[in-house]
Each structure stands twice: as structure tokens, then as C-alpha cells.
């Protein structure tokens, strides 16, 4: 993927650029908001990563300027301002994801990849049925069936499974799951995610002797294509 990175801190910028390059992406790294806007409007990117506070034009202004030119490229915010208000502001302005500093690189990589492979149309929003393997998830009835047989999942387990299917083939980090499934943007010290994933596995994998969700050590979980 071709990624535009706006980050004024040299150390963090170098770290992110190196990491993303090693993961096989092509990075254009700029340190000034004006350059970021110029690059974004003259070249095609798959993902843009914006730091919130940068010299020249700040990240939020760059995004607003971009969206006003009908540019719909997915944008991930990086910021030291981690409060919910900042997050809401960033997402309201048209940002697609938000990652507070400090972050683990695996978290950034997972989120960038998730953004890049997002289908350009939002058709998935209107689907009423999701399928994987022999499972069928009826989103309207909140019902999970396998080969015609109902699989009893509670509401959170259903939502967890649904999230995995929707993000098939992408790594989901613990934090991404906490946000998407439990609406929690804090990191509980106890093993909320691990517990629920193991409960879900006990219901969708064990009885049928299959493996759907794979744990990627130090990164997160993935439901393979």
C-alpha cells in the first residue's frame, strides 16, 4: 500500500516509517501540514496517517481541507491527546480511526491494514446476513446457524463473531476489539478479551473440531480468509 505519514517528531516518524516499510508498504513521510495536504491532493494514497499536532497546518485542519475536496482516502489519526472529546472531534471531521500515543507498533500496523483493505463502498452496512465456513449470522434476528442448526451465542459473543467475520483476513488487536465490541476505550487489566474469545471458541470451534480464530502473539487475533 502507498501510505502518507504526517509526523513532526523525527524519532517516532523514523520508527513508523521503518516499521511500515518492513511490512511491505511504501511510505511518504512529511513533517509539515501544508506538505501533507499538497501530497495528498497530488498523489493517490491507500491510507493517510496524520499526527494531530504538527507545524504549519495541524492534522485536523489537513483532514478537513482534504474532505472538503471530496477526497475520501481513509485517514488514521495519531495523537498525544487521547481523550474521548478529541477522538470524537477527529472522527466527526471525517477521520476513520484514532490511535492515541503511545502505541505499540503492532497496533498501528493492524489499524492501517484494516483501513487500507476496507471496501470502498459501504455495502457491508446493509447486509442482513454474514457467512463464514458453514456459519450463517442473521444480523436482523441476531441468530447464528451452522448447517441449519442454531448455535447459541449471547449478544456480546454474537457481536464478537460478527466483528471477526466483517474483518476477515485482518489482524484485530485487543484494543480494536474492546472498542468495536464492548465500546470500551480503556484497557482493563483483567483478561476481558481473552476470556470472551475463549468462550466464543468453545462454542464455534470445539463442537465442530475446526479452527477459525487464530491468535497472533503480541499482535492480536485474526479470522483467516
Partner 1 sequence: MTSSLKYLWQMSALRQAFALTLVFLGVLVATGFLADVSIRANLNQTIDNNLLTKFNQIKADLAKGVSYQSIAGSYQSESEHFSLDEFVSFKSDSGKIYGYPIPDVYGKTGFINLAPYYFHEEDEEETEEHAETETSWRVYIGTIPGGRLAIGSSLRARNQLLNTLPYAFLFSGGVMMFITLSGGLWFGWRSQRRLSKITRALDQIAAGDLTTRIAPSSCRDDLDILSVKLDETTQRLSTTLQQVRDLSVNIAHDLKTPLTRLRAQLEQTQEQNQKGVSDAEGVAGALKKTDDLLEVFDALLRISRVQSGERKKQFQHIQLADLIHNVAEIYQAVVEETGRSFSVEIEEAGSISGDQVLLVQALANLIENALRHTPKEAEVTLFVSGNTIGLRDNGPGIPEAYYPRVVEPMYRMEQSRSTPGAGLGLALVKAIANLHQAELVLSSPTLGKGLSIQFVFHPPISEQLSTN
Residues that bind partner 1 (CB under 8 A): 82-85, 102, 154-156, 182-192, 195-196, 199
For residue 92, the minimal CB distance to partner 1 (Å) is: 13
Contact predicate 8/51, CB 8 Å: yes
Toward partner 1, which CB reaches closer, 102 or 150? 102
**Closer Cβ to partner 1, 126 or 186, answer by number:** 186
Q: How far is the CB of 139 from partner 1 (least distance, A)?
A: 19
Local structure of 197: helix, strand or coil = helix
CB of 97 to partner 1, least distance (A): 18
Least spacing, CB of residue 84 vs partner 1, in Å: 7
Residues 6+ apart with CB under 8 A from 10: 31
Distance of CA 54 to the CA centre of its chain: 23
Query: Which of 69, 83 has the CB closer to partner 1?
Result: 83
- Closest to partner 1 by CB, 103 vs 208, is 103
Q: Name the 3-class secondary structure at 123.
A: helix
Smallest separation (angstroms) from partner 1 to the CB of 119: 29
Angle in degrees, CA 143, 147, 149, rounded to 5? 55
Asked if 65 contacts 37 with a C-beta cutoff of 8 angstroms, the reply is: yes
Burial annotation 147-185 (CB, 10 A radius, 16+ → b, else e): eeeebebeeebbbbbbbbbbbeebbbbbbbbbbbbeeee
Q: Considering the complex, state which of residue 158 and residue 164 has its C-beta at the smaller distance from partner 1.
A: 158
Amino acid at each position: 500500500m502507498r501510505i502518507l505519514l504526517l509526523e513532526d517528531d523525527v524519532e517516532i516518524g523514523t520508527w513508523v516509517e521503518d516499521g511500515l516499510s518492513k511490512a511491505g508498504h511504501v511510505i511518504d513521510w512529511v513533517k509539515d501540514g501544508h506538505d501533507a495536504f499538497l501530497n495528498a491532493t497530488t498523489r493517490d494514497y491507500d491510507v493517510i496517517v496524520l499526527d494531530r499536532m504538527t507545524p504549519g497546518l495541524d492534522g485536523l485542519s489537513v483532514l478537513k481541507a482534504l474532505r472538503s475536496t471530496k477526497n475520501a482516502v481513509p485517514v488514521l489519526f495519531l495523537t498525544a491527546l487521547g481523550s474521548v472529546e478529541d477522538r470524537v472531534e477527529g472522527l466527526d471531521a471525517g477521520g476513520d480511526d484514532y490511535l492515541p500515543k503511545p502505541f505499540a507498533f503492532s497496533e498501528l500496523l493492524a489499524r492501517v491494514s484494516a483501513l487500507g483493505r476496507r471496501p470502498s463502498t459501504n455495502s457491508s452496512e446493509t447486509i442482513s446476513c454474514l457467512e463464514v465456513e458453514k456459519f450463517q449470522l442473521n444480523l436482523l434476528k441476531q441468530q447464528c446457524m451452522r448447517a441449519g442448526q442454531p448455535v447459541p451465542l449471547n449478544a456480546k459473543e454474537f457481536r464478537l463473531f460478527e466483528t471477526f467475520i466483517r474483518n476477515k483476513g485482518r489482524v484485530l488487536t485487543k484494543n480494536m476489539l474492546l472498542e468495536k465490541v464492548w465500546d470500551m476505550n480503556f484497557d482493563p487489566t483483567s483478561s476481558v478479551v481473552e476470556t470472551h474469545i475463549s468462550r466464543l471458541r468453545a462454542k464455534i470451534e470445539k463442537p465442530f473440531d475446526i479452527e477459525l480464530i487464530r491468535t497472533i502473539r503480541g499482535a492480536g487475533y485474526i479470522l483467516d480468509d
